[in-house]
A and B are shown apart, each in its own frame.
Chain A
Amino acid sequence: MLETKFGRHIELGKPVEIPLRDINLKDLTFLFRYKFEIEDLSDSIKQAGLINPVVLRQKEKYQIVCGFRRVFSYKFINKKLIRAFVLDKETQDIDCVLFALNDNYFTGNLNDIDKAMTLRKLKRNFLVGESELINIFTTLLKMPKSKEVIKNYLAISEVEDEIKEGFLNDKLNLGQLFILSRLNASERIPIYKYIILSCRINTNELKEIIEYLTFLNRKFNKTFDEILDKKIVKNKLLSGNFNPRQKTIILLNTLRDYRYPNLTKKSRRFFKISKCINIGDKLRISFPENFEGDFVNVLLKPTSYKELVKLIGIIKTKKRHFMALFRLLK
């Protein structure tokens, strides 16, 4: 007897030996993993044998409910028979789903892509409604009970395999994957290809870049691919002379230039003049945010009164440059 987490009782009977050739290995109805590896498990089975029997459902050929990795490992090491609990052919699909997910809940850890694919399968293949997804399946998938979370995971289930693989290989984090999943394919693929893979970028920077690209796309009616490919990637990112972090900075600055051409131009002019003032670390000059104001921020860092007087004296000698800064802010 096996009790599912939600109180369904299903009679399992005693495990029996089932020939592998009688199992339909092509039927992946109850597989809730994006990908799985069998080599480690095969080694373990060779040494210790099968500890937990798999669960199959009777059909014309047996259908795997729990234990895909175990069955495929058995096949890999050319075993002929496998110990299995066999469910009656009348057992409902949804009971098999609960079985399989319970098995995963207690025995294995699903990664975020597995969870996303599971939610998609539940919704599409088993027609599970939103409230059931939230109330029942989030617990089995060890996820927060939230509509928003479900929505995010369903979105990542739709991203291209290339990007899913990238996530599994730590090329991008979950936050970045969520951001990409909100874009359409023609937008996210160039971002992944040109930016995620070649730069070292944090989530906020990625958001900023997408905001710039979205703006440029609307304004100039060019695709992300065209914007990145023509102007930036060929000229700057693929030149190969920069490390991934430097590439990120170059990319951000270049896109910012396109997004805010006048602001950037003015900032550059400001920095050019303030550079001429150059009094070292003891004096810092900056402009008000976005030039919204007609003042210059001047920070003096004297360690003594004498030094303060000296700094003020130097400032007096830089009158021409300060006047130029104030003119810029008018």
Chain B
Amino acid sequence: MKHLYFKEVYIERDIKNLRQTDSILKRLKPKSVNLIRDIRDIRLKGNNLNTTIGLSKKVLFLAKQRGNFIKKFFENKNLINCSEYRIDLISGCIFDCAYCYLQSYLENHIISIYVNLNNFKNEFLRLKRQVNLKKSLFTTGELSDSLALEWLSGYTKFLAEIFSEEDLKLELRTKSSETELFSKNAFNKKNLVVHWTVNPDYLIKYIEYRTPTLRERLSAFRKAQEMGFKTGIRLDPIFHIKDWEEKYRTLINYIYNSIGQECSIDYSLGCFRYTKELKKIIQMRFKNIKILDDEFIKCEDGKFRYFRDYD
């Protein structure tokens, strides 16, 4: 992961003296930092969207979260009295998956670590007073990979300690091979569920740029399991590739062989889907990839999904 060091670092003036800023800079050891007034004024500009997004992967912003850190992200009809929340301590991802919805979701395409953690704590306490969170599920993997920047921010550890104290569930979603967190004993492991997103190895090479290989991910998975963490595999997005059944069967066999036949694994599944905006970006950035060349139909929520009834 260390090859992904950022080439440039920008810090908002307001937060330059915060302890968290200092701690991140100590780990990153950048040659220089640039002070800015407000992250919202920043727009990275490459020659086109492709170079802009490419550039964004090399620039880190340390900023103040001005909105809410915690957002209720959807009502799951299958879960009674249970809500799902997302926590955005980091926005943007160092990985560059061709299908990633962040490409169209994040307007300024930048990777920012929010360092005003006191505000997060206050917000969390406020929410806890207002709502019974015992049956709620929290995740950090919506606007960024949950573990990819853990070596730099230490945020998952920070959250794990809080969630351990409060006995609440935190789900991590990652493609990372980071394992440092799993050797820590400062929190109750039962409150943490770590899901690795995987795909057949050749798809990882083909469309999940700058991500660890399947082997590396499964190695991290094994480590987490050995250390007593609850783990799971996310097959999301699944692609309707040629001989997809065979390829995904091989993948599942490979997973079982890698992590031991005796382990039971939680799987969550989801097929590839995209919005109109994302389609344009994928077509522009990744001209030669064929993931959009299928029979997608527009669904009620405006997203495009595979036609359900393939022969």
Contact = CB atoms under 8 A, between A and B. Distances in A.
Interface in A290-312: 290-292
Interface in B279-310: 290, 292-293, 295, 297-300, 307-310
Interface in A245-269: 259-263, 265-266
B293 A291 contact: no
Nearest to A293: B300
A262 B298 contact: no
B297 A292 contact: yes
B293 A218 contact: yes
Contacts, number: 32
Nearest to B294: A219
The winner among B292, B300, B309, B310 for most chain A CB atoms within 10 A is: B309
A26 to B, nearest CB: 41
B290 A262 contact: no
A263 B290 contact: no
Interface string A126-166: 00000000000000000000000000000000000000000
B293 A260 contact: no
Interface residues of B, number: 13
A261 B306 CA distance: 12
Contact of B300 (A219, A261, A291, A292): A292
A255 to B, nearest CB: 13
B303 to A, nearest CB: 11
Contacts of B290: 218-219
B309 A266 contact: yes
The DSSP consensus for interface residues of chain A is: helix
Contacts of B246: none
Nearest to B293: A219
A265 B311 contact: yes
Nearest to A260: B295
Given A219-B290, A219-B293, A291 B307 contact: yes
The 5 closest A-B pairs by CB, nearest first: A290-B297, A219-B293, A262-B307, A263-B307, A260-B295
Interface of B: 290, 292-293, 295, 297-300, 307-311
23 contacts: A215-B293, A218-B292, A218-B293, A219-B293, A259-B295, A260-B295, A260-B297, A260-B307, A261-B295, A262-B295, A262-B307, A262-B309, A262-B311, A263-B297, A263-B307, A265-B311, A266-B309, A290-B297, A290-B298, A290-B307, A291-B308, A292-B297, A292-B299
Interface of A: 215, 218-219, 259-263, 265-266, 290-292
